[in-house]
Each structure stands twice: as C-alpha cells, then as structure tokens.
Structure 1
C-alpha cells in the first residue's frame, strides 16, 4: 500500500496537528513529496514539534486553507489531498459558532473550489467525525444512521462533508469521507482540554492527577489508535473506485468511559479515576454511548483496527513521557527559527508561494 505513494505529490492540510503530522511522517517514509498546509490557528492543535522527525523532508505552508490565492500554485500537479484542517472541539463550537463555521465550513468550501480549479479529479480524503450522528438509535452505528448532530461542530463538519460529496457527484473531485471516532496516540494535543476527553485523561495521568470521570461513566466509546487511522487514510488515498464514499473508522473495543479512565490510570504512575458530577454545559451535547460499525471499511478497503486499547495507551504514555516538554505546554507560538528542533524545516509563508 505504501509503495503507491512513492514519488507522489501529496498535500496534508492540518499537517501540524495530531493526525495530520503522523500522516505526513508516514507519507515521507513512503517516499512521497509532502506539502503541509496549516494555519496554526490558536487552540486547534498545531505544534511544530510534531514534524521534528521529518523536518528536512516536508514543505510547510503557513496559511488558512481558505486563503487559496496564496498557495494555488502548490495545488497544480498534486496527486492526493488529505484534508484534515479544521477545529474539532464540540464545546468550543457552542461558545463561538461563527468561529467554528469559518474554520470548518467556509474555509473548506473555498479550498475545495480551488482544488476543483487547479487539480480537478484529484482524490481528496476528508477527516469527518462520528459526531454528525448525534444520539444513537442503535449500536453499533453504521453509515446509514440518521444525521442529527447535537452541536455546531457536528453541523459544520457535516456541511463540509456535503461539499465533498457534491463535488464528487458532479465529477469535479474524487472524495472519500472518514467518520472518525475518538482518536488517540502520539502527538495528540493533550494540553487542549476542549479537544476531547481522551487528551485530558492522558494529561492527568502524566501529571499524576486524578482522572475525572463525569457521572457514572457508563457511556461507551470505541477509541481508535492513530496508527489504525493512518492505515485507513492511506488505503483511501489509493483505493480505486470504491463502491461507497463514506466510511466509519473506530476501534475494535467498545469500552465505558470509566474503563477507559481506569486503563489509562493503571498504566501510569500515581493516577486514579475519580467520579464527579457531569457539568451541564457538557451534558447537553453528550451523545450517550457510541461505537462504530466498521464492516463497510473492512469489506471495501480491507481495513481493520489492529491496536488494542491497552497497548495503545502504553504506546501513547511512553511517547508523551519522553517528549513531555513539547506536549504539556508546547511552544506553538514560536517562529520556526526559534524552534531549535525545527530550525532546518522547509517553511514557506503564504506570501512566498502566491
């Protein structure tokens, strides 16, 4: 599968973030010519240290993906676009829905229209979310489940997915959408509490603090390790005319929140799970239990989640323990020359690629 990327021109939007940076690293290792586009918007998880491993082998363009006139030249001749840019916080979308609209919908539309103009027919793999389903009618949840998001983030992400689908139906682009469950692993933005409970759990464990579980913690989730998610993206990037264009991507185990907390706590030193009352502002957008039916991805992509949660937790904790200074309080505001670990990265400001 990775051999299919040798010598290919690939763009990763949101490539300084958690999933995008891991994907960029794998693509570099596969021999691809990788360009990362990231706006470095505060609070969205961009971290220069995420790309330290491949600092001499990627091109980074600092730009909002909606500012398409600033990097249109880069789109010409691209073979695959992995589109991971955007905001993932559900709670923050409720606090500032217009910000979420701008990041997750308007910028996406402008970017896709630029792709239609400069690289028509290109395969675009979009990072969607299981949050679009809202509260579940039955479990596990497959791709035919009604779309009823409970927050603005889910609404806006669904709108962006619809843009991808429309342009695919029209023959303008060749898009695939992955509805991701709760992703975890190395390079996760564990310092940003609003990006999800898993990051908070890992941070509390690393700091030896109690992991707070809201309410009884009986809600089910299927956390999926980033390595399994990368496998799904890479398969989609080279899949030939798949029957479907939307795939659920989740973990192999349906675990309660209290089980998740206890597993992370038991794999760390000095942490423990502690039950506390459920904050009302979070309860109002809680989807209840969720775990994915991934049979479609298994049948059509040959994809299977392979990382057991216990193993993935140990992997993530080991990574964050080794690199804690970059993830507990990352210096994302520093310019590239100021980042000693990234002083040689090939970085272009948007104005230099117009």
Structure 2
C-alpha cells in the first residue's frame, strides 16, 4: 500500500499517544500528511501536524468527540503488565476492556464509521500448541491481562460482525527498537537488555533460557498498522498475528544482544543463566514463533528489518540518547 497516497488528508485518531508504538506511528503519520488526533490521559508536548485531546478512555462521550470526522482509529491505549493485571484485575478491566466498549458505542450510533485497528497480543492465545502460530488455534488465555485483551478483541469482532462498527485486531509479538525522541530503554525485553549491556551490566536469563520469542522491529510494526488502516475491506472483523517468522530463544537473543554491544563498544558483556524468581508467570516460559502469512496476503506487508540489523539500530539510538543526556548535564 502507498501510505503517502492513501493517508494524505485522512483524519487518523491515535489513542495512547504517549506510548512507545503510538509515538512511532504518529511520527510515520506526520510524514504522510495525515491529520493526526492524539489521545492521551495527560497533556502532551505540542507536535506539529497534530491536534490533541485528553480525557477518560472509558467515557463514550470522550470518544464521540474524538471520532468526529475520523477515517481510522489506532487504538493503542492499554495497561500492558501481566503482573499489574493479576494484582488488580478491576483496574486492568477498566484500562483494557472498558475503553473498547466506550469506543464502539459512538461507532454504533454514527452514520460514518471509522476503521478501528486494535493492538492485541499474541499471548492472548495462551501457551502456543504449535509453531509457527497463525492465530487459528483456539484461544486459551492463562493470565488476567490476556483474558481482558481477548475480551476487548471479541467486542470489536462482535460489533463488526453485526455491522455496528468496522475494525480488526493485530496481535503483536515482541516489539523492540528505539522510539522517537527517547531511548525507549524501558520498553520490551530486548531494549532493556541492550540498555543494561551498554551500562556494562551482566545480562541475566531465567532458567535455561529455552523460552522462544519472535522479535519485531518498531518500524515494521508501524508499517503494519499503516497497512491495516488502509485495508479495511480485506481486514474487517478479523484478527491477525504479526511477527518476523523467526523464533529465537531468550538465551540466544541475550547472547546476540551482548555480541552486538561488544562489537559496537569493544566492551565485553557477560550473559548468565540464573534461577527463576518466585511468582514468575507461566506465560513467560512460552515458545512462540509467528506465522503472519494471513496478514501478508491481505495487505502485502512483511517484516523488513532482520534481528541483527534491528539490534544495531537500537544500540546506535541508545548510545546517541545517552550522549545527548550526558551533554545536557555538563556545565555550560
């Protein structure tokens, strides 16, 4: 899809606009001349080409005002921790389910319905029973977080099936890579490991490190959302698994991260297996590789950035951010 041609002049609403993926997506949308409406719970620094709204995602009236004239909604606002969801299920329900319900109600009543692209998670399916996974297996979520994400997805599918809304879910695998304007070092396991390695810290992998992840670079994620927003006819009412198609064990990925940091800095980085901490969620032991062929067939999208290249790009961004921070601390 030619994003520049399709999105030019379109009104695009992005919820959770202060978040990692949303910030990258907003940056891409600004580059294709879209009219971007950023939604957030708190006031954001102004950004050229964007208008901003703050409010409560669980309030249908907030959504009604936000959706006026909208062509596409990228719904990225969420609570993303398995552990926070387990400790406070009510708060997680309010953060991950009620906003979808509030978003769908104005759509049901509207004469003109925007296409909703919802950010789901591959963990909604539970522990994978086969690899690669294309999302066609029965969902058996094993965490409160995933149960709520699945419920939000089902609400969207149900409204779409009845013709009351339009939308699709992208179930995301492990995202990594820098975010615009920041190091994003607290986002995702790979970003965290790279940041630790650059600080000279040891990288600790739990147990034997046999759990498998499918890592997807942030630019590929943004491209997938853009493709989804312009593919309403082919995607409506459906869900899609996204990933690179390459499964890598945690131990292998940590060692690879250490090796790329060593190559960039010359400093040795230690990787060690350590006992699993008490209370570790069983979902952490999953072995997952994505089969994104359904989304590729519907949109033409595919992952472009190999893991090694993505790690190098992220290392460069983290080092540049650290350099800017150090320069800012120097006396004038």
Counterparts of 2:63 and 2:295, CA distance in 1: 33
User: Is residue 8 from structure 1 mapped to residue 1 from structure 2 by the alignment?
Assistant: no
Q: Decide which of 14, 25, 28 is 1:26's aligned counterpart.
A: 28
Is the contact between residue 90 and residue 152 of structure 1 (CA under 8 Å) also seen in structure 2? yes
CA RMSD across the alignment = 2.4
- Specify the SS of the correspondent of 1:127: strand
CA drift at 1:266: 1.7
Counterparts of 1:327 and 1:176, CA distance in 2: 39
CA drift at 1:200: 2.5
Counterparts of 1:7 and 1:274, CA distance in 2: 51
Is the contact between residue 121 and residue 171 of structure 1 (CA under 8 Å) also seen in structure 2? no
CA drift at 1:64: 2.7
Match of 2:258 in 1: 265
Match of 1:255 in 2: 248
Match of 2:56 in 1: 64
Tell which deviates more after alignment, 142-151 or 175-184: 142-151
- Specify the SS of the correspondent of 2:57: coil
- Specify the SS of the correspondent of 1:304: coil
Is the contact between residue 92 and residue 148 of structure 2 (CA under 8 Å) also seen in structure 1? yes
Match of 1:167 in 2: 159
Counterparts of 2:11 and 2:139, CA distance in 1: 34
Is the contact between residue 252 and residue 308 of structure 1 (CA under 8 Å) also seen in structure 2? no
Residue-by-residue CA offset, 1:308-344 (whole Å, 9 max, x unaligned) = 001001111211222248999xxxxxxxxxxxxxxxx
Change (3 A) 1:76 1:327: farther
User: Is residue 109 from structure 1 mapped to residue 101 from structure 2 by the alignment?
Assistant: yes
CA drift at 1:248: 0.7
| 1:21-100 mapped onto 2 (5 Å cutoff) | 21-40=23-42, 55-70=47-62, 72-100=64-92
Which 5+ residue runs of structure 2 have no aligned equivalent? 327-332
Tell which deviates more after alignment, 96-105 or 109-118: 109-118
User: Is residue 139 from structure 1 mapped to residue 131 from structure 2 by the alignment?
Assistant: yes
- Specify the SS of the correspondent of 2:139: coil
Q: Decide which of 231, 234, 238 is 1:242's aligned counterpart.
A: 234
- Specify the SS of the correspondent of 1:274: strand
Is the contact between residue 33 and residue 58 of structure 1 (CA under 8 Å) also seen in structure 2? yes
Q: Decide which of 277, 293, 300 is 1:279's aligned counterpart.
A: 277
Displaced runs of 4+ in structure 1, greater than 4 A? 188-192, 325-328
Counterparts of 1:87 and 1:326, CA distance in 2: 30
- Specify the SS of the correspondent of 1:162: helix
Counterparts of 1:38 and 1:209, CA distance in 2: 34
Q: What TM-score do you get using the length of structure 2 for normalisation?
A: 0.88
CA drift at 1:15: 1.5
Question: Comparing both chains, which one has the higher relative contact order based on Cα–Cα distances under 8 Å and sequence gaps of 6 or more?
Answer: 1
CA drift at 1:62: 2.4
- Specify the SS of the correspondent of 1:236: helix
Which 5+ residue runs of structure 1 have no aligned equivalent? 41-45, 329-354
Residue-by-residue CA offset, 1:290-314 (whole Å, 9 max, x unaligned) = 1111111121111111110010011
How many residues are treated as equivalent by the alignment? 316
CA drift at 1:31: 0.3
Is the contact between residue 190 and residue 202 of structure 1 (CA under 8 Å) also seen in structure 2? no
Change (3 A) 1:116 1:158: same
Match of 1:208 in 2: 200
